[in-house]
Amino acid sequence: MKTNSATRPSYILGHSDEELGRLARQAKLVDPMTRRFFEAAGIAPGMRVLDVGSGAGHVAILAAQLVGESGMVVGVDRAPAALKTARAQTETLGFRNVSFVESELAEAKFDQPFDALVGRYILMFQPDPVGVLRSLLRHVRPNGIVVFHEPDWDGARSNPKVAPYDDSCRWILETIERNGVDGHMGAKLHSTFMAAGLPAPSLALEALIGGGEDEDRIRFVTEIVGTLHESIVAAGVATASEMDLVTLPDRIAAQAIASRAVLVCRSETGAWSRVPRAAT
């Protein structure tokens, strides 16, 4: 199912080859967290899982590992470029229990309900996350699992203070929020689930943390700045010279090492609940 791209709200991160590469590097760091959320929620072998906002397919593959060959995963996304990467990745890895559908989330249709609905970094981009979640619940059987993983940039900090790191996190948060993205969605999952008609969810919170020697965790943040740099300038949040993308990771590392600082990235929140059973 395809929709007219002219009617779609813009997606601030885009789907360039560089961004898809960043998503792959990001997935290596956050997949273990998502797996723990999914396992705690009860995603298990044999289940049929709907992964919404699949992007390049990292979450769908993670779900496929949990449901095994006896289960199946269907991923939905509206971006052809991302789905091309997702399909190639699943084929390369040999996952035959994963398929993808090109569709807007609200317009997706399926022949039978799923045992679980999952998503990562999806509700934060929705103008009406409660409405979107409520509409998606129609695809889940009674007592089926609903689990989402969303961030909250309020958790990002350094101690002692490392100015270029804290500035980077602030640039990201201010820019995405000026573009209609909720940088605090993780902290709103509880209220969003309940407003959509779900029971109060179980919650868990994790975060990436490291010192100045931890290049991967520093680049986790600075590569988002790189993706957003044009939007950051356009929003008046920071200038290109203030960001100085070429030296930004090294400046963060050098200051953190000099002060033996700890760098904490955004909070990663998981929430899970079950669709109420039909009244009898």
pLDDT of 19 reads 79
- What residues form DSSP beta bridges with 118? 51, 147
| Residue-wise pLDDT tens digits, 207-252 | 999 999 999 999 999 999 999 999 999 999 999 999 999 999 999 9
pTM, entire model:
0.92
| Residue-wise pLDDT tens digits, 186-205 | 999 999 999 999 999 999 99
As given in the structure block, the two tokens for residue 154 are 């309020």
CA angle 158, 159, 161 (to 5 degrees): 70
CA 201/CA 37 separation, integer angstroms: 12
Domain architecture of the chain: domains with CATH: 11-274 (3.40.50.150)
pLDDT of 6 reads 39
* pLDDT over 70 percentage in the chain: 94
pLDDT of 3 reads 38
Q: How far is CA 205 from the centre of its chain?
A: 14
Per-residue pLDDT band at 280 (split at 50, 70, 90): very low
pLDDT of 15 reads 62
| Residue-wise pLDDT tens digits, 44-77 | 999 999 999 998 899 999 999 999 999 999 999 9
On the question of pLDDT at 12 being above 80, the answer is no
Instruction: Provide the mean pLDDT of the chain.
Output: 92
CA 4/CA 104 separation, integer angstroms: 10
Cβ within 8 Å of residue 25, ≥6 positions away = 216, 219, 220, 223
CA 220/CA 25 separation, integer angstroms: 8
